Amino acid sequence: MTPAVQPGHAAYGPGRPHRRAEDRWLERWLETCSDLARLQYSHPMVDAVIDEIDGRMIRIGERWLADFASCNYLGLDLDRSVIEAVPAYLDRWGTHPSWSRLLGSPVLYEQLESELTELVGAEDALALPTITLIHMTVIPVLAGSGTIFLDSRAHKTMFDGCSVARGHGATVLRFRHADPGDLERLLRAETEPPRVICMDGVNSMTGNAPDLAAFAQLAREHDALLYVDDAHGFGVIGERSPQELCDYGMRGNSIVRHQGESYENIVLVAGLSKAYSSLLAFVACPTQLKQILKTAAPPYLYSGPSPVASLATALEGLRVNAERGDELRARMHRMAWRVLDGLAEFGIVTPNTTGYPIIEVPLHDPDDIDEVGRYLFDHGIYATMAAYPLVPKNEVGFRLQVTASNTDEQVTHLLLTLHGLAERFRMRPGAAQASLARHTG
């Protein structure tokens, strides 16, 4: 693999040249980021350059690896019918609209927003390029100079959105992760309205989901708005039905529908850059709020739009989802459970209690992370490394994601590698019973 900065590169390390006085700002800045810089070149799976892909196999330098770091849950990035549909959209619309949405939205957006609205069952939806942009701009609008109640393990982009809101005059209070009791304690105290509760749906590390009903009830009781980021649930979990092929539910229409909740006092944010392999995201909300956000939240007016290819893959992805999404989810479900059962058998702990396809493996000793990463890489497994300082020391480990386009052979190979890993490294104890119990229960 080719690290972005080679060991011995002038950026750090013993070979670093003496800097001129006018470059000292750079020196100081490099010192501040030295943990991250070391990480960048000590882990073959951090900041890697991918030379080639073949299905869910990727080539880095000379090595082919099975990719368990992809978030393309439905495998639409590789779907021939989606790929082949894109040129016709490019012929009609060119590669990029370039107008900000307020200046001119290709009619494709109308179609997307109405399909997304119907799918998630909300009153309306506003599409913007990314969830990050949505958090940074919509949370400050919703919170104004009121109070934000922020889940302490919310995604970094949500934290950042809340920081922007703080800069605009909001107060930010944090409650214990997924703990409605702790949130209630904060809600009972005197706080400035409007009140916004910010939390993730399916958690991007643990693969678990909060008890939305409990949080929604608190929001309604305390005249607050529940703002939920379901980047990882959208496309994966959906409404429950006697016809469902697996307990992810049907249609992949996200956590609110999966848990049988209504949208009263709930704003759902989800993205298409994971399950739908497209640079697009949306806020599901009442039409009146959508109209306000068009002018009050900057991206609709000030940011560039998603490229046409992404609008095309989003629309075609929604078509595939309607045609055979549930089969893709059933396939993902089956392979995710193969991995979870294997971990349980090898005594490797994971916090995943849902069976959703995000499987975190925390290490017993965070100092093993370099060797574990190297072991996985050398055995042809590509995973997301959660190394310090990206995560706190007690959460250091790696994350595996299973997509519909991984193969059973790749899962078998992963299991053999994990078995070897468990023999070689000390893993956290206590996984086996927990995992097997949840499978049989």
Ligand X SMILES: Cc1ncc(COP(=O)(O)O)c(C=O)c1O
Site for ligand X in 252-291 (CB under 6 A): 271, 273, 281
User: At its nearest, how many Å lie between ligand X and the CB of residue 188?
Assistant: 28
Asked if residue 77 binds ligand X (CB under 6 A), the reply is no
Asked if residue 157 binds ligand X (CB under 6 A), the reply is yes
Nearer to ligand X, 133 or 418 (CB): 133
User: At its nearest, how many Å lie between ligand X and the CB of residue 416?
Assistant: 29
Nearer to ligand X, 267 or 348 (CB): 267
Q: How many CB atoms lie within 10 A of CB 415?
A: 17
Asked if residue 155 binds ligand X (CB under 6 A), the reply is yes
User: At its nearest, how many Å lie between ligand X and the CB of residue 157?
Assistant: 5
User: At its nearest, how many Å lie between ligand X and the CB of residue 135?
Assistant: 7
Site for ligand X in 115-144 (CB under 6 A): 130-132
DSSP string, 107-136: THHHHHHHHHHHHHT-SEEEEES-HHHHHH
Q: How far apart are CA 227 and CA 99, in angstroms?
A: 29
Asked if residue 204 binds ligand X (CB under 6 A), the reply is yes
Asked if residue 147 binds ligand X (CB under 6 A), the reply is no
Nearer to ligand X, 228 or 349 (CB): 228
Nearer to ligand X, 195 or 232 (CB): 232
Q: How far apart are CA 69 and CA 78, in angstroms?
A: 15
Q: Spell out the residues 6+ positions from residue 101 whose beta carbon is closer than 8 angstroms to its own.
A: 109, 128, 294, 299, 300, 301, 305
Q: In this chain, which stretch among 30-38, 227-235, 238-246, 361-369 interacts with ligand X, using CB under 6 A? A: 227-235
The overall longest dimension of the chain from CA atoms, in Å, is: 70
User: What is the 8-class DSSP label of residue 178?
Assistant: T
What 3-state DSSP class applies to 173? strand
Nearer to ligand X, 274 or 290 (CB): 274
As to burial, measured by CB atoms within 10 angstroms (0-12 exposed, 13-18 middle, 19+ buried), residue 198 is buried
User: According to CB under 6 A, which one of 77, 79, 113, 229 is a site residue for ligand X?
Assistant: 229
User: At its nearest, how many Å lie between ligand X and the CB of residue 215?
Assistant: 16
User: At its nearest, how many Å lie between ligand X and the CB of residue 172?
Assistant: 17
Q: How far apart are CA 354 and CA 294, in angstroms?
A: 36
* Per-residue tokens: 288: 């009146």
Q: How far apart are CA 145 and CA 140, in angstroms?
A: 9
User: At its nearest, how many Å lie between ligand X and the CB of residue 201?
Assistant: 8
Between strands 281-285 and 266-271, the pairing is antiparallel
User: At its nearest, how many Å lie between ligand X and the CB of residue 237?
Assistant: 14
Asked if residue 386 binds ligand X (CB under 6 A), the reply is no
Nearer to ligand X, 120 or 231 (CB): 231
The distance from CA 360 to its chain's CA centroid, rounded to whole angstroms, is 13
User: At its nearest, how many Å lie between ligand X and the CB of residue 298?
Assistant: 15
Q: How far apart are CA 388 and CA 394, in angstroms?
A: 9
Question: Which ranges of 189-306 would DSSP assign to H, the alpha helix?
Answer: 212-221, 254-258, 287-296, 299-302
User: According to CB under 6 A, which one of 108, 162, 231, 359 is a site residue for ligand X?
Assistant: 231
User: At its nearest, how many Å lie between ligand X and the CB of residue 203?
Assistant: 8
As to burial, measured by CB atoms within 10 angstroms (0-12 exposed, 13-18 middle, 19+ buried), residue 370 is middle
Nearer to ligand X, 207 or 342 (CB): 207
Cα–Cα distances (Å) from 426 to 288, 353, 371, 440, in that order, read 54, 22, 12, 27
Q: In this chain, which stretch among 164-172, 228-236, 422-430, 432-440 interacts with ligand X, using CB under 6 A? A: 228-236
Nearer to ligand X, 153 or 331 (CB): 153
Residues for the chain: how many in total?
A: 441
Nearest residue to 245 (alpha-carbon basis) of 319, 321, 323, 331: 331
Q: How far apart are CA 76 and CA 273, in angstroms?
A: 11
Asked if residue 321 binds ligand X (CB under 6 A), the reply is no
Nearer to ligand X, 146 or 201 (CB): 201
Asked if residue 113 binds ligand X (CB under 6 A), the reply is no
Count the site residues for ligand X by CB under 6 A. 13
User: According to CB under 6 A, which one of 77, 79, 124, 200 is a site residue for ligand X?
Assistant: 200
Tell me which residues touch ligand X (CB under 6 A): 130-132, 155, 157, 200, 204, 229, 231-232, 271, 273, 281
